[in-house]
Amino acid sequence: MSTYEIKLVSDNILKISFAAPAQNDQIVKDVNNQLKQMIENGELLGGELLKVNGPASLPVAMVIAHHVGHLYQAIACFDPKLAKYVVSIAHGDKYSIGDLIS
């Protein structure tokens, strides 16, 4: 059983959530393996924008950023306090760090 769930849903939203209880040393391995598989299977092809939505520890967030940071022109993470996505990684001219996306 995996310790973390990752699903690509409509509108290029990567839904993430914790699954079976575990510590970060195991969770990051599971996240790494899942993302590698998703890229190999063609689920994460890259593109203009990827929105990430769900809870993550800092180590998990870093593994996710490592895998998707150069596949997409911009990565935005959902901020529940703002009820918007905040651009956290940006390559190119369309998005800038700190942009808010509905």
Give the start-to-end residue ranges of the domains of the chain.
4-101
Strand pairing report for 4-9 and 13-18: antiparallel
Share of the chain above pLDDT 90, in %: 96
pTM: 0.94
Residue 8, pLDDT > 80, answer yes
Distances, alpha carbon 101 to alpha carbons 16, 32, 34, 72, in Å: 18, 27, 26, 15
Can you count the helices (H) and strands (E) in the chain? 2, 6
